[in-house]
Amino acid sequence: MYPLGGSHFKTLRGQINQIWDNPRFGLLGLLVAIDFDDELDTTGLRCPEPLMMVRNRIRSLASGRVLKVVATDPSTTWDFPKFCTFMSHEMVHMDTETTPYQYWIRKG
């Protein structure tokens, strides 16, 4: 058993703080699973295919529904947020720290 003030506790507290402060995990990743209504896998596809597939799939969803997109094309990291802004959709969350990239888009 380690005392609360010991070096093991400080190490554990430091590790928890690193995870908590990491935007990839943080509060969202630790406490909330992002719910989605449909999923689209665009891995291996290159611009403009992922964006066009997202556009077509999101058109089939009802307003307020969430589409999860998995992609490997680096251009999606700027294409998808701009698409959401232009088309009045909401980028609920995006995980672009590692590939495959993941996006959750709520239809506006």
Give me 59's structure tokens. Answer: 């058109």
Do both 44 and 90 map to the same domain?
yes
This prediction's pTM: 0.71
Helix (H, G, I), strand (E, B) or coil at 21: helix
Do both 14 and 24 map to the same domain?
yes
Note down the domain range covering 77. Answer: 34-106
Do both 66 and 100 map to the same domain?
yes
CA-CA-CA-CA dihedral for 95, 96, 100, 106, to nearest 10: 50
Q: How many domains does the chain have?
A: 2
| DSSP one-letter code for 93 | E
Catalytic residue numbers read: 47
Mean pLDDT by 10 residues, the chain (108 residues): 48 57 49 82 96 97 96 97 97 93 96
Do both 50 and 87 map to the same domain?
yes
The predicted-structure confidence for 8-36, as pLDDT tens digits, reads as follows: 445 555 555 655 555 444 444 444 578 89
Handedness of CA 35, 36, 39, 45 (dihedral sign): negative
**In this structure, what CATH number is given to the domain that contains residue 65?**
3.30.110.40
